Each structure stands twice: as C-alpha cells, then as structure tokens.
Structure 1
Amino acid sequence: MTTTPKKIVVTGIGATTPLGGTARESWDALLRGESGVRPLEQEWVAAHELPVTFAAQAKVPAADVLSRQETKRLDPSAQFALIAAREAWQDAGAPDTDPVRILVDYATGIGGLWTLLDAWDTLREKGPRRVLPMTIPMIMPNSAAAAVSMEVSARGGARTVVSACASGTEALANAYEHLQLGIADVVIAGGTEAVIHPLPIAAFASMQALSKRNDDPARASRPYDVNRDGFVLAEGAGAVVLETEEHALARGARIYAELAGGSVTSDSYHITAPDPEGSAAARAMKTAIEQAGATPEDVSHINAHATSTPVGDIAEYRALARIFGDHLPIIPVSATKASTGHLLGGTGALEAIFTILAVSERVAPPTINLDEQDPEIPLDVVTEPRPLGDGPLLAISNSFGFGGHNSVAAFRSY
C-alpha cells in the first residue's frame, strides 16, 4: 500500500433482501423491527420431509425485476447480484469513468447451486442431450462478478472471493486494498447467495446449525437470547460502490460514509467451529480499526455477525471482549440477522450497507426477538432504533465463516 492511505468513500448502495427489494426498503423495514422469515410453501418441503420448513426468501422475486432472458441465463445467485449492483450503480450516479479504472470485487459463499442440482436432475431423468449449454457459466462461482462487470463495463478486473459467510465482507476488504493500491478509481463490491434449496436445508439441519422453530418462523432468529437454537437460512445480495475520495469529489458524487478499513484473518482451528478464544477474529477487528487510524475506544457502533447459534454468539463476544475490554459495555451492538436471517456469502455485504446507513443517518438498527439475554453475553444490544449522537462516528461490521475465515469492515461518518 502507499505510505499515505487514501480516503475511500461509499457513493452507492443496492440490495435485494428478505426485507425488501431495494437497500432503502430493506433498511426501513429493519428500523421498523420487521422479520423477513416466513414458512416455505414449495412442494419440496413436504416431499423431502425436511426438518426445517421456513427460511428468509427474497421479498421481491428476481423474476419480477429482471427480463426473462436474464433469468434464463443467470443462476438465482447471479440474478440477485445483478439487481443489487444495478441499484448501487444508479444510486452512485452511474460514474462516467474509464472502464479500465473500474473494478468488480464480488463474492459468494456457494455459487450456482440451483443450476447445478437442477442440471443433475435433468441428466438423471432426461439424459445428457437435455442439459442446458449455459449450465457451466451459470454454476461458476464467478458468475455474479462476471455479470456485474458486464453490466457496468468494468474492465479493470472482475474478482471473486469465496470464503463462506465472511465472503461479502472480504470482498469489501479486497476492494479497500485495491483502491489503496491505485489499480482502480471505482470498485463495485458485494456478495450474493441463493441456496434456499432442500439439500442445503437438510445438510445444515443435520449439523444442528439451523433453528427448528417451525411453529414460529418470524421469531426463530434470536441472537444472544438464552433460547437461541440456530440460524435461519436466507437469500439475497448487497452491493456498494466505492471510490477514492478524490475521484468522488471530482465528479460531484454524494458520499454516504468512508470505508476506513477492511481486514482478513483466519483461525486455523476447525472447519466449522469458531476458535472459542476468538484471537484471530479479534485481530481482524483490531486491524480494521488501526487502518482507520483509530483505537477501540473510538468505535461507536458494532454490527455483529451474531448468527443466533449457541456456540457462535459466545465466541464472537469473547473476541469483542479481547479488543474492547472495559469499553465494550457502552458500545451499541446490533444483530441484524434477527430480521434478515443469514445470507451466507451475501450477508457481509448487506450488513455493511446497514452499517453505512447507521453512521450516515446516525441511528443503530434494532435487534428483534431478544426476550431474555444470555448472561454470558453482557453486550449493550440495541432492541429499538437508537440515535448514535453527534460528532464523528466509527462503526465495524463483523463476518465469520466456516473454514475459520474472519473479515471486518470499518466505516466512518463523512
């Protein structure tokens, strides 16, 4: 990186989520304390006798937004990515920038799963001649990044990171680094996922990772609650447009916030379980805060990973305690997966948008479904929209994924 860090700013946001078809609709629903979790009405739920019968599906189906040709040529994961990216690009004013100075950093945790499994069914039931020729480009994990790059004519690169549930945040961390290195003036970054399918539901349920509150889906995701019993599978995508401050000011762009830091570490501990000591997760937070030229005492808000799993929530608390110490009890913490469910590779991008809007609009969003807080996690959890006050704000958004992947993004009010 250069010796003098550049200021990186956010000029556009876009999302399609279980709460709404746009970033703004999703944010407004989040502030109202809504839940995007609903029973699944597909026939395959009963056909496969799934132990979990609910999820957080996108509120606006991709087919309602995209053309028929786009839905036929893109896996649902890339469809969501394209919708979010289009909104973000237009929100940023569609920057008139040399295409070779535009870069895409887009992520997914799993990729084109629906296309892959549908093609396998077709092969078994109808034979090889009926397998669609577009199958390979639709199942590629880089399909979303490619679609976004073609949408905005990005010729500076279309890069894909796949790091489970840390993917979306790691894409932002990569974008931060790429802008600091000077290889682009504008980066569109984000993450997507579309795997509400019987196989992942069965597999996640088998490993005891999913909530099984089939009788009360809207209250199933309950981070920090003593009765939490697992996460809720969700789908959707988020995208942000990032630029150097110099480039944004030169074109008169509106600026939401500053991306002040982005870091990546790994536990090297276990393929699914987080390191219970949280040392690497804590180091990711520390690095992002240091990149922002700040100290832990400067942090005024945290969007926690907080999946609602019994083990994961405590592990993250221990990591937070390592970094923030006596300052931790006075930091407002939001656990937005209570409303959205867990978008896997897309969750970091969506929660980054929520963090950007939190520092931009100076309000911490609520955490719903917290009836009795776990005494082992004594955080100041925000349960109603809370003003964040005057003066400079610094917030972090945490993401941790299977494989021991940790990524943190830091955002400063502008």
Structure 2
Amino acid sequence: MRNRVVITGLGVAAPNAVGVPSFSDAIQAGRSGISFQPELAELKFSCQIGGIPPVTETIKQQYFTELQLRQLTSSGVIYGVIAGLEAWQNAGLSIATDEPDWESGIVFGTGLLGIDKIRESIYKVDAGQVRRLGSTAVVQTMASGVSAYLGGIIGCGNQLTANSSACATGTEALLLAYERIANGYAKRMLAGSCSDHGPYMWGGFDAMRVMPYQFNNSPEKASRPLSATASGFVPGSGAGALVVESLETALERNAPIYAEVLGGHLNSGGQRRGGSMTAPNAFAVKRCIQKAMEEAAIQPSDIDVIDGHLTATIKDSAEVTAWCEALGRRGADFPYINSLKSMVGHCLSAAGSIECVAAVLELHDGFIYPSVNCEDLHPEISAMIAPDRIPQQLIRKNINVIAKANFGFGDVNACVIFKKFQS
C-alpha cells in the first residue's frame, strides 16, 4: 500500500519577494517583480528587463557564513539554499548532528548552475591562472551543487540528487520526491529547483527573439500571459522549495500540513506529431494532464483551479486548448486558470517550484491570485473559456483541488495534482 504524501514546508526566493510571508502578500496583491536591467541595455539586448529576487546582504547573512559569501558568485546556489532552508525550517524540522538523517533526502534541480562562475573560470584558465580558480569552482557549477550544499547543512542521509528538465524541472523534482515517499523509500524529501540570473543565462533566449522588447520602459506590463498583446516571455530567476513528507510522519510530529499531493504524471512528446525541441507535442500535453488525473484518482470536474505554464507566447492558446480537451470542460464550466509568470516572468528551471509554492499557498489559504496584464484576452482563448475564469483581481475562495503543470524545451511535460488536506 502506497503512503499518502503531504506538503509540510515551503520556501521561496522569487522576483517579487523573498520568503513565504512576503511572497504570499505579493501574489495576492498582483505585485510585479519585473524591472529594467541596465546591464542588459549596456550589452545591447533587445529585451532589457527581467525578474531578479530582491536578496539583500542581510538576507544572505541569515543563510551563509562570511567565508561562504566571499566565495559564492553563483546566484542559483544562493537562491536555492535560501529557499531550501526556509522550507526545512518552515516544516519545523531540525538539523542532523552527529549521524546523517537516513530518512530525509533532497531532489533539487536546475538548468544550468553557476554560469557566472563558469565564465570567471574560463577566463582564469585561458589566462594560465588555473590555481586561482578557488576551492568552490566545482561545487558552484555542478548540477547537484544546491543539493550538495543543502545536504551538508541539513545532514540528509537519503537520496541526494539533482534533476534537469528545462521549464518542467521544479514540478518534476516534486513528483520524483513524491514517488520516493509514496513507495516508502524515504520519510521526507526536500524538493525544489533554481535558476541563475543575468545576461549569460538569458542571452540565448534574446537571440531566439522569444522575449519582449516593446516594454523596456514599462517592465511591469511586459509579461502578458493569455493576452492578445503578449509578445514573448520575460526572463526571471530564483528558487522554490517544498518539503514533501509521508502523512504518517507528518502527523506523528504534529507538522503543519499545507496540502496533499494526490499524484501526477511526467512524459515527453518525443518531438513527434508537431513537437520539437522548442514546441510541445499537443497530444503529449493532453495525455500528461489526463494521466495525472488518472494517477491522482480524480475526475475533471474535481479541478477548481489550473495553475498554468502559460508563458506569454503564441503557445498560450494551444495550452488552453489542451486543458479544454483533456478536461472536457469549456466556457463557464472551465476551472479558474492563472499564470504566476504575469508577475515574476519565466523563471526557467526555477519556474515549476516557485509556481508550485504559489499553488499550495492558494489551496491552503483560500485564494486565487490574479493573472495580471491580461485585460485584453487573446480572442482564441476567450472563444474557448469564459473571461471570468481568468481572475484579474484577487479572489477569496475555498479551493479543494489545483492542477499545476509545466512544459519545457525538449518536449517534456509535468503535471501534479494538489488537494486541500483532509484527515
């Protein structure tokens, strides 16, 4: 018999807030974290805006020693450690002392970690200064760097790993952790993902011309999921983390329970049937959603809110089409649907975990955050679903079930089903 799995801790470093209390306030207020980035303008980027978490030196000092801060140049590591430790503390969990905690593990993903450190290292090596790379060059750039940092701080003795599936990374990490606990291989897992910020991370996307350039003077209006005037995704960065735990151990220690994970599904479209390296196979997206419902043992009518991937590109209407077909629901019967990217931009490999934190907060605290900047709904979308299904103001409402999905480069898909916890 599989274990029931619950969320007992949350942590976040997002472009519009750092820390769960501030983040909850920000998403309820519809507050943007997107701003003009002078460095991008100096480097002649077309898109000169982005979302960078407001991590102050004071915040850093709460999580790192002075020595660590002198060595750290990887923003992804900083964001990941902050989010991961906040989630662990938020769950009321202690730090292992002499013996590793054999029942606790970590799955913390990323796309590309420590790109600024990689650049610094390349220049030093090319200049014949290899001995000046420092002792942390490897751990700041290896994919499992955040898992390694967190594992050492917390003292985890179970599986310690990293995953990487482009924009689906964070939701995939959560589902990998869920499976480990459901099958009894661990009692709790810290799941999350992170992404670096800056020109070396975002330059390739600017070259692809998938980011907006019309809003450099009005950054907060730039990220426009579901909108007729959407013109590309705004780059973002940060990290999200969730403590995933067996219901039995959560109840034993009287832990806070934010939500239950009913199940989910991971798949790939195989870059077939219209799918490619950068475009999803629509059939695979629909199948992922349907299989997630099947594995969570729910009906389409049970879903109250969809926390979409919805990047503010031409694929938004295709995503809504997939949801309509997968659920068999349209018009006024369609669930509420929103996109956190309207406030924080597309945080790339961190997107799924930050958005999962937002979805769990909606479920636990009884609200639906607004999907801002979509006052001019795309006509293809408004033809499928009733406009009031896309909240443009905060809605206070008890929610029972949320479906959260992310779809990434490489034609990969992830969908998880959260439910309000009931004993």
Deviates more, 1:201-210 or 1:89-98: 89-98
| Offset from partner CA, 1:177-204 (integer Å, 9 cap, x none) | 111111100111011111x222333310
Q: Which amino acid aligns with 2:407?
A: F
199-208 or 324-333, larger mean C-alpha shift: 324-333
Task: Kindly provide the CA deviation profile for residues 151-209 of structure 1, in whole angstroms up to 9, marking residues without a partner as x.
Answer: 22111011111000100000001011111111100111011111x22233331011121
Q: Name the residue aligned to 2:209.
A: 208
1:341 paired residue among 325, 338, 345: 345
Match of 1:301 in 2: 305
Partner of 2:255: 253
Give the Å deviation of 1:324.
Answer: 1.4
**Which residue of structure 1 aligns with residue 135 of structure 2?**
133
Q: Residue 200 of structure 2: SS of its match in structure 1?
A: helix
| AA matched with 1:273 | A
Q: CA deviation at 1:95?
A: 5.0
Distance in 2 of aligned mates of 1:228 and 1:197: 22
What is the identity, as a one-letter code, of the residue corresponding to 2:83?
A
Query: What is the match of residue 22 of structure 1?
Result: 19
Give the aligned partner of residue 51 of structure 1: 46
Paired with 2:191 and 2:267, the residues of 1 have a C-alpha distance of: 19
1:40 corresponds in structure 2 to 37
* 1:116-170 CA distance string (max 9 Å, x none): 1122233345633333332122110110111111122111011111000100000
| Residues 115 and 201, structure 2, Cα contact 8 Å, conserved in 1 | no
Say whether the 8 Å CA contact 1:320–1:328 is kept in structure 2: no
Question: Do the aligned residues in 1 keep the contact of 2:116 with 2:200 (CA within 8 Å)?
Answer: no
Q: CA RMSD in A?
A: 1.8
- Tell me if structure 2 keeps the 8 A contact 1:5–1:180: yes
Separation in structure 2 between the aligned mates of residue 202 and residue 87 of structure 1, nearest angstrom:
30
Say which SS state the counterpart of residue 248 (structure 2) adopts: helix
Kept in 2, the 8 Å contact 1:62–1:79? The answer is: no
Shift of 1:102: 0.4
Tell me if structure 2 keeps the 8 A contact 1:263–1:284.
yes
Runs of 4 or more above 4 Å deviation:
95-98
In the alignment, structure 1 segments of 5+ residues that lack a partner are: none
Residue type of the partner of 1:383? Answer: Q
Shift of 1:334: 1.1
1:46 deviates by 4.2
**Whole-Å separation in 2 of the counterparts to 1:14 and 1:81:** 9
Query: What is the alpha-carbon distance in structure 2 between the residues aligned to residue 283 and residue 365 of structure 1?
Result: 27
Does residue 385 in structure 1 map to residue 377 in structure 2?
no
Any residues of structure 2 matched to 1:149-168 within 5 Å, and which? 149-168=151-170
Query: How far apart in 1 are the matches of 2:22 and 2:162?
Result: 27
Per the TM alignment, residue 113 of structure 1 is displaced from its structure 2 partner at its CA by 1.3
Where in structure 2 are there 5+ consecutive unaligned residues? none
Moved more, 110-119 or 322-331: 322-331
SS in 1 for 2:216: coil
Deviates more, 1:234-243 or 1:314-323: 314-323
User: What is the correspondence of 1:10-409 to structure 2 with a 5 Å cutoff?
Assistant: 10-42=7-39, 45-61=40-56, 64-65=59-60, 66-74=64-72, 75-95=74-94, 99-124=101-126, 127-194=129-196, 196-212=197-213, 213-269=215-271, 270-275=276-281, 278-310=282-314, 312-326=315-329, 329=332, 330-378=334-382, 379=385, 380-389=389-398, 393-409=400-416
**Does structure 2 conserve the Cα–Cα contact (< 8 Å) formed by 1:62 and 1:76?**
no
Structure 1 counterpart SS, 2:102: helix
Say if 1:95 and 1:136 are closer, same or farther in 2 by CA, change over 3 A.
closer
When normalised by structure 2's length, the TM-score is: 0.91
AA aligned opposite 2:391: V
Say if 1:71 and 1:263 are closer, same or farther in 2 by CA, change over 3 A.
farther
How has the CA–CA distance of structure 1 residues 180 and 95 changed in structure 2, closer, same or farther, with 3 Å as cutoff?
A: farther
Q: Quick one: distance in 1 between partners of 2:401 and 2:227? A: 26
Aligned residue identity for 2:368 = A
Contact 2:121 2:137 in 1 (8 A): yes
- Larger mean CA deviation between 214-223 and 72-81 belongs to 72-81
The 3 A distance-change label for structure 1 pair 232 and 23 is same
Q: What is the rounded CA distance, in whole Å, between the counterparts of 2:108 and 2:143 in structure 1?
A: 10
SS of 2:11's equivalent in the other structure is: strand
Is contact 1:268-1:404 (8 Å) kept? Answer: yes
Indicate conservation of the 8 Å contact 1:52/1:201, yes or no.
no
Quote how far apart the aligned CAs of 1:257 are.
Answer: 0.7
Number of matched residues?
403
Residues 12, 89 of structure 1: 8 Å contact kept? yes
C-alpha change, 1:90 and 1:386, in structure 2 (3 Å) is same
Q: Deviation digits for residues 84-138 of structure 1, max 9, x if unmatched? A: 1111111110157871110101111222212111222333456333333321221
Q: Conserved in 1, the CA contact under 8 Å of 2:84 and 2:241?
A: yes
CA contact (8 A) 1:62 1:80 kept: no
Structure 1 residue 236 displacement after superposition: 0.8
SS in 1 for 2:406: strand
Query: CA 1:157–1:35 in 2, change beyond 3 Å: closer, same or farther?
Result: same
TM (norm. structure 1) is 0.93
CA distance in structure 2 between the partners assigned to 1:308 and 1:264 by the alignment = 23
Question: Aligned equivalents of 1:150 and 1:240: distance in 2?
Answer: 18
Q: How many Å separate the matches in 2 of 1:61 and 1:335?
A: 27
Paired residue for 2:3?
6
Separation (CA, whole Å) in 1 of partners of 2:338 and 2:69: 34
Secondary structure, in 3 states, of the residue corresponding to 1:164? Answer: coil
Amino acid at match of 2:349: G
